[in-house]
Amino acid sequence: MTDLRIRPGGPEDLDTVLAFWKTAAEGTSISDDRAGVERLVARDPESLLLAERDGELVGTVIAGFDGWRCHLYRLAVHPDHRRRGIGSALLDAAEERFVRLGGRRGDAMVLVRNERARHAWRAAGYEPQEQWRRWVKHLGDRAAAE
């Protein structure tokens, strides 16, 4: 895929990325806003990976590393560009980043109802760990009180 370019996303890309996720990503998150993605890019400028073809955004993945664990979020490929190796190329770039940083295992957040995504992650060599459950707490009320 020589015409596919993968690069880190910067502050100038955020509006495009947020609009892209509305078309290409399944589900939403409390952090799917400009302020949330700005914090991500400011804290870790290489974590948001963008795939472009002919200058057009065709895919994304967030490859976050906290110094201990490697976390993958927002693997999304535009519906008109799926099944062309873009997701695989993004995951390869993310995994290369993790190895370079000393990471040992990548984990991904995958919606249970997103059958297409589950097949894609499994094809990339990832597998569910049924013994774990995600526990969450929204911190918005706490942050507003302080």
Contact 56, 50 (CB under 8 A): no
Predicted confidence band of residue 96 (pLDDT cuts 50, 70, 90)? very high
- Those residues whose C-beta lies under 8 Å from the C-beta of residue 130, and which sit 6 or more positions away, are none
**CB-based burial label for 80 (10 Å; 0-12, 13-18, 19+):** exposed
pTM over 0.85: yes
Q: Which of 5-9, 79-83, 90-94, 132-136 has the lowest mean pLDDT?
A: 132-136
What CA–CA distance (Å, rounded) separates 85 from 20? 18
Q: Which amino acid is at 118?
A: R
> Quick one: average pLDDT of 108-114?
83
User: Domains (ranges, CATH) in the chain?
Assistant: 4-145 (3.40.630.30)
